[in-house]
């Protein structure tokens, strides 16, 4: 009876909650977890949380499934863990969440598993962790972020503020690499899903005050009022990394893309078109340097993080398992 009461409480929590056993196989997945991740309980229970499901990454692109898994640490020493990470949504994009892992103990006090609670961190107003689209004249119907009209209307005043010397402004130009190949190989339906994935990654990687724009086709802008060189570089590399670590499953195929990025700070008196043209040229510099790269006026940025895990199986030994068994 007591256990059923707890389950009913978990069903009505907005936070995501899931339980794993000592092998990190998921044994329970609440409706909050379904809402935040897009994965239903039937799709994940009985599977490892790393099997192409969540695969948490940090802002620097460090993959916790390879080392530093909070749940493995909890089951090793019994101490709770907290972390700020980007989880993987079923539709491909990354969602910023705060996670907390706690041990599960049996009547004798032995650790038999772990529970993780997670909830989305506040990100950009265009970010939609549920993958649903919004109906709005200034929102791109496909991706759910600002459309070109929205971008043109909002760029003018922030560029004017730079001209007046009262604000700074960063602009990031993002282009999907080899997008024509995606459409030719998989069809335009898959191409549309790729654009949604990239658009939501951009939204989820920005601050509330920033605005993401689908500029046209597979081209996107991120506009960062108040940015300085350091925050511009951090945002540009973060967006590149988030896309690189994103994917969605289409049958047996794991659909992945990368992006080429150009990032620049606005200069007083140059105008919107000149600013965007410079960001565009820097993006093409990334293309010419091999793609999957971010370039600023100072040159290409070092790629942070690790090479993404490919596939849906578990080809590696889960970190810590040999210790905690």
Residue that the structure tokens 């191409």 belong to = 191
Spatial separation of the C-alpha atoms in residues 276 and 279, rounded to whole Å: 5
Indicate which residue of 15, 91, 218, 244 is catalytic: 218
Q: Are the CB atoms for 17 and 40 separated by under 8 Å?
A: no
Sequence-ordered list of residues with C-beta below 8 angstroms from that of 79, at least 6 positions apart, any chain: 73, 103
- Reading the block at residue 155, the tokens are 């760029």
Neighbours of 213 (CB within 10 A): 28
Spatial separation of the C-alpha atoms in residues 103 and 159, rounded to whole Å: 51
Instruction: Report the number of secondary-structure helices (H) and strands (E) in the chain.
Output: 10, 13
Neighbours of 132 (CB within 10 A): 7
Spatial separation of the C-alpha atoms in residues 50 and 65, rounded to whole Å: 6
Q: Bridge-partner residues for 120, per DSSP?
A: 97
Q: Are the CB atoms for 204 and 96 separated by under 8 Å?
A: yes
List the alpha helices (DSSP H) in 187-290: 188-204, 229-244, 272-288
Per DSSP bridges, beta strands 94-105 and 299-300 are: unpaired
- Residue among 41, 39, 56, 55 at smallest CA distance from 7: 41
Q: Are the CB atoms for 309 and 51 separated by under 8 Å?
A: no
**218 has catalytic annotation:** yes
> What are the residue numbers of the active site?
218
């Amino acid at each position: 009876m007591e256990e059923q009461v707890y389950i009913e409480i978990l069903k009505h929590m907005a936070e995501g909650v899931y339980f794993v056993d000592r092998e990190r196989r998921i044994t329970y997945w609440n409706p909050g977890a379904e809402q935040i991740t897009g994965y239903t309980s039937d799709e994940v229970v009985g599977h490892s949380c790393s099997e192409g499901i969540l695969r948490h990454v940090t802002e620097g692109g460090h993959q916790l499934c390879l080392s530093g898994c909070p749940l493995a640490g909890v089951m090793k020493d019994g101490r709770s863990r907290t972390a700020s990470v980007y989880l993987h949504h079923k539709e491909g994009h990354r969602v910023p969440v705060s996670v907390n892992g706690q041990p599960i103990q049996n009547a004798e006090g032995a650790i038999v598993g772990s529970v993780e609670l997670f909830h989305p961190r506040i990100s950009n107003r265009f970010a939609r962790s549920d993958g649903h689209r919004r109906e709005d004249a200034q929102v791109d119907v496909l991706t759910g972020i600002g459309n070109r009209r929205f971008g043109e209307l909002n760029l003018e005043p922030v560029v004017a503020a730079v001209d007046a010397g009262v604000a700074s402004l960063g602009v990031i130009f993002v282009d999907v690499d080899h997008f024509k190949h995606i459409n030719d190989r998989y069809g335009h339906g898959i191409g549309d899903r790729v654009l949604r994935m990239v658009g939501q990654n951009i939204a989820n990687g920005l601050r509330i005050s920033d605005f993401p724009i689908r500029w046209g086709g597979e081209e996107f802008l991120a506009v960062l009022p108040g940015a300085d060189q350091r925050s511009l570089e951090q945002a540009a590399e973060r967006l590149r990394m988030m896309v690189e670590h994103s994917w969605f499953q289409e049958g047996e195929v794991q659909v992945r893309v990368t992006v080429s990025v150009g990032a620049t700070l606005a200069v007083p008196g140059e105008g919107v078109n000149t600013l965007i043209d410079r960001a565009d040229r820097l993006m093409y510099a990334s293309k010419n340097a091999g793609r999957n790269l971010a370039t600023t006026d100072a040159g290409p940025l070092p790629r942070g993080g690790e090479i993404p895990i490919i596939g849906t199986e578990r080809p590696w030994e889960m970190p810590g398992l040999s210790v905690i068994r």
